[in-house]
């Protein structure tokens, strides 16, 4: 056997942990190899050093502190501590011999008493809740931040204008009479209550100021123009009124408009009503709408698609959008206006 292999066996040789055959081989090699003998001597000296190391004692407070910790942990963790019934009574009831804290590879024992639900189970659950609270803090913090952000956002929208916050048509879905829904346009054009346009549209059962909802078939929603397409330029490509594309509860819309006229006589509002139901025979509303448009813009009677009134602005757009398109609506038909520059789809 060469020196390298013997060197690997010197440690167990020193401890007497080699097989007899290996031990004989190493012994015979050591007789003939001085280098390995020296190495064995160094190894023995190194091991001897450990024997000369002094034994250390912990500080005087070690045992009192340990006892205090044991008592504390016994009280807080009754299920994991082998507390004697006399040692750690809680609420006048002795602790049962509970399952022990398992050491690695040591199977935990469960006594018969531990299968019953003792009184301290609740205490243990509460203490576990407090302990797990440390892990819950980050989640709570994130939830709080989200709630604050939502609150601030809703507050901002509330200040920006009541119409910007979409409302679900709960009343309509329930078939109950709903509160009038409208969108106020600051500086924009709207049909005042009792105006000829309103009357005409009321009579025709059409609503010129209807907002074209992208969610067709959802009457009563505070509708918005299709996203990405500015409402003023939303001209029907096939020459039909945009309102024809959407179903409506026309009778209900009329009643709602009348209510709104009463309530909001002093304010400029555009009433949001359900778009009319899609039907192929709606010449009357279309004619009434055309008449209204001609009345409004007599200078440009031929530009019917351009004059389709965008009743409201897309939901969720900010003040700037409203201001810009409000002006645009005022300037509809005027030469050089943004709306005219852009024109209906297909013109540019």
Partner 1 sequence: MDLAELIKKSKAGDLDAFEELVRLYEKKVFTLVYRFVGNWADAHDLAQETFIKVFQSLPTLREDGSFVAWLHQVTANVCRDELRKKRRQPKASLDELMTSSGGIPIPDQGDGCPETALERWEMSEAVQGILNSLADDYRLILLMREVEGMTYDEIAAALDISPGTVKSRLSRARQAFKQKLLAQREHFRLLPRLAGKEG
Binding site for partner 1 (CB under 8 A): 7-12, 15, 17, 41-59, 62-63, 65-67, 69-71, 73-74, 80-88, 97, 100-109
CB nearer partner 1, residue 94 or residue 277:
94
Give the separation between CA 215 and CA 201, rounded to whole angstroms.
Answer: 23
Two tokens at 201? Answer: 């549209």
CB of 164 vs partner 1, minimal distance in Å:
50
CB nearer partner 1, residue 17 or residue 284:
17
Contacts of 186 by beta carbon, 8 Å cutoff, 6+ apart: 161, 322, 323, 326
CB nearer partner 1, residue 9 or residue 328:
9
Q: Cβ(80)–Cβ(100) under 8 Å?
A: yes
CB nearer partner 1, residue 71 or residue 229:
71
Q: Cβ(295)–Cβ(196) under 8 Å?
A: yes
CB nearer partner 1, residue 102 or residue 133:
102
CB of 78 vs partner 1, minimal distance in Å:
11
CB of 135 vs partner 1, minimal distance in Å:
16
DSSP H helical ranges for 161-264: 170-174, 196-204, 250-263
CB of 137 vs partner 1, minimal distance in Å:
19
CB nearer partner 1, residue 81 or residue 248:
81
- Count of CA atoms in the C-beta half-sphere (13 A) of 32: 9
Burial (CB count <10 Å: 0-12, 13-18, 19+), residue 217: exposed
CB nearer partner 1, residue 50 or residue 137:
50
CB of 12 vs partner 1, minimal distance in Å:
5
Give the separation between CA 99 and CA 78, rounded to whole angstroms.
Answer: 9
CB of 123 vs partner 1, minimal distance in Å:
18
Measure the N-to-C terminal CA separation of the chain; round to a whole number of Å: 96
Two tokens at 298? Answer: 């007599």
Q: Cβ(33)–Cβ(3) under 8 Å?
A: yes
CB of 85 vs partner 1, minimal distance in Å:
8
């Amino acid at each position: 056997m060469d020196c390298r292999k013997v060197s690997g066996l010197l440690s167990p040789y020193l401890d007497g942990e080699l097989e007899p055959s290996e031990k004989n081989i190493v012994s015979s090699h050591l007789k003939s190899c001085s280098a390995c003998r020296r190495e064995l001597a160094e190894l023995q000296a190194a091991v001897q050093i450990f024997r000369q190391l002094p034994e250390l004692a912990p500080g005087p407070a070690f045992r009192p502190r340990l006892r205090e910790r044991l008592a504390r942990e016994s009280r807080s963790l009754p299920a994991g501590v082998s507390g004697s019934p006399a040692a750690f009574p809680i609420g006048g009831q002795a602790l049962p011999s509970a399952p022990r804290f398992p050491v690695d590879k040591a199977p935990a024992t469960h006594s018969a008493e531990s299968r019953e639900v003792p009184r301290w189970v609740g205490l243990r659950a509460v203490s576990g809740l407090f302990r797990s609270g440390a892990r819950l803090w980050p989640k709570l913090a994130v939830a709080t931040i989200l709630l604050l952000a939502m609150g601030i956002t809703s507050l901002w929208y509330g200040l920006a204008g009541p119409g910007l916050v979409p409302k679900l048509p709960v009343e309509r879905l329930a078939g109950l009479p709903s509160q009038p829904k409208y969108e106020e346009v600051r500086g924009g054009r709207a049909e005042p209550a009792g105006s000829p346009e309103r009357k005409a549209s009321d009579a025709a059962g059409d609503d010129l100021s209807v907002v074209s909802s992208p969610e067709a078939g959802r009457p009563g929603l505070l509708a918005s123009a299709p996203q990405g397409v500015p409402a003023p330029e939303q001209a029907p490509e096939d020459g039909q009124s945009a309102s024809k594309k959407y179903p409506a509860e026309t009778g209900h819309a009329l009643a709602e408009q009348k209510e709104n006229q009463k309530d909001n006589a002093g304010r400029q509002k555009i009433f949001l009503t359900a778009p009319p139901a899609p039907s192929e025979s709606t010449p009357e509303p279309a004619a009434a709408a055309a008449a209204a448009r001609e009345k409004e813009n007599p200078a440009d009677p031929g530009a019917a698609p351009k004059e389709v009134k965008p009743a409201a602005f897309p939901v969720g757009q900010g003040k700037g959008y409203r201001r810009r398109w409000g002006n645009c609506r005022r300037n509809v038909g005027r030469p050089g206006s943004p709306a005219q520059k852009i024109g209906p789809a297909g013109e540019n």
